[in-house]
Amino acid sequence: MHTAPPRPTDDKGTYVRDMFARIAPRYDAANRVLTAGMDEGWRKRAIALLDPPHGGQILDLCCGTGDVVFHLLRTDPSLHVTGIDFCAPMLERARERAPHEARGEAAFLEGDVMSLPFENDRFDGATMGFSLRNVVNIDRVLQETLRVLRPGARFVNLDVSKAPNRLFKRAFDLYFYRLVPLIGGMVGGSRQAYTYLPNSLTHHPNADALRERFERAGFADAGYVRLMGGSIAIHYGTKR
């Protein structure tokens, strides 16, 4: 394993990293308010779909302040979980939380998920929470994730998605594009950041298109589960 310093590969990467650096201190509080605490249940559901092997090595991509990492370890303290993220202030917060929240082995590493600093076939499972929309190149991240998983291991990705039902979509869009910037500005401390975050969904593939991207990257059994009328989706795939 090498630990070269992360280099966001273009302007979007730098923009995203700086934005998360600004909101890192209040990210957790804003998340709980913005999702009314429901994100906890979605994360649990994602981990249930991962079904990680007891004692396994799990990689959490774009770990941020560590929510998915801590959930994994609450589910099974025998897991060895590595969180990777390119934003140092988000990782700092994760490391602060670890002594109180990590029931087991959690390691946090600074790195870019577009170029994972791990050897092939290293992990027994991988997770990602609310982040695939933010990366510069989705296909590259999927290929990198596939590379570091051992054959038979699963990748589970939890994120907002495009609700198929028109009425539901309209209600969700009102919340996501109007209320999130307002509330995020107040609780999270940056209206600009919480305007970018919903907009990152606009150009993101819908659930079916994302499943196809999983397949094209080489994942077997690619599929997804819709939550909240499809405004949240959990995509999964297995390395052959």
Ligand X SMILES: C[S@@+](CC[C@H](N)C(=O)[O-])C[C@H]1O[C@@H](n2cnc3c(N)ncnc32)[C@H](O)[C@@H]1O
Minimal distance in Å, beta carbon 190 to ligand X? 13
Q: Is 159 in the site for ligand X (CB under 6 A)?
A: no
Among the listed residues 44, 43, 72, 42, the one whose alpha carbon sits nearest the alpha carbon of residue 57: 72
Stretch touching ligand X by CB under 6 A, among 83-91, 95-103, 198-206, 221-229: 83-91
Minimal distance in Å, beta carbon 56 to ligand X? 19
All residues at 6 or more sequence positions from 224 whose CB lies less than 8 Å from its CB, including other chains: 207, 210, 211, 233, 234, 235, 236
Site size toward ligand X (CB under 6 A) is: 21
Residue of 20, 70, 123, 176 interacting with ligand X (CB under 6 A): 20
Residue of 16, 59, 217, 222 interacting with ligand X (CB under 6 A): 16
Residue of 86, 155, 172, 224 interacting with ligand X (CB under 6 A): 86
Distance between CA 154 and CA 99 in Å, rounded? 28
Site string for ligand X, 25-44 (x = CB under 6 A): --------------------
Residue identified by tokens 């009314």 is 36
Among the listed residues 162, 157, 229, 156, the one whose alpha carbon sits nearest the alpha carbon of residue 198: 162
Q: Backbone phi, then psi, for 235, in 5-degree steps?
A: -95, 145
Closer to ligand X by CB, 87 or 156: give it. Answer: 87
Between the two ends of the chain, the Cα-to-Cα distance in Å is 23
User: Which residues lie near ligand X (CB under 6 A)?
Assistant: 13, 16-17, 20, 62-64, 67-68, 85-87, 90, 112-114, 129-131, 134-135
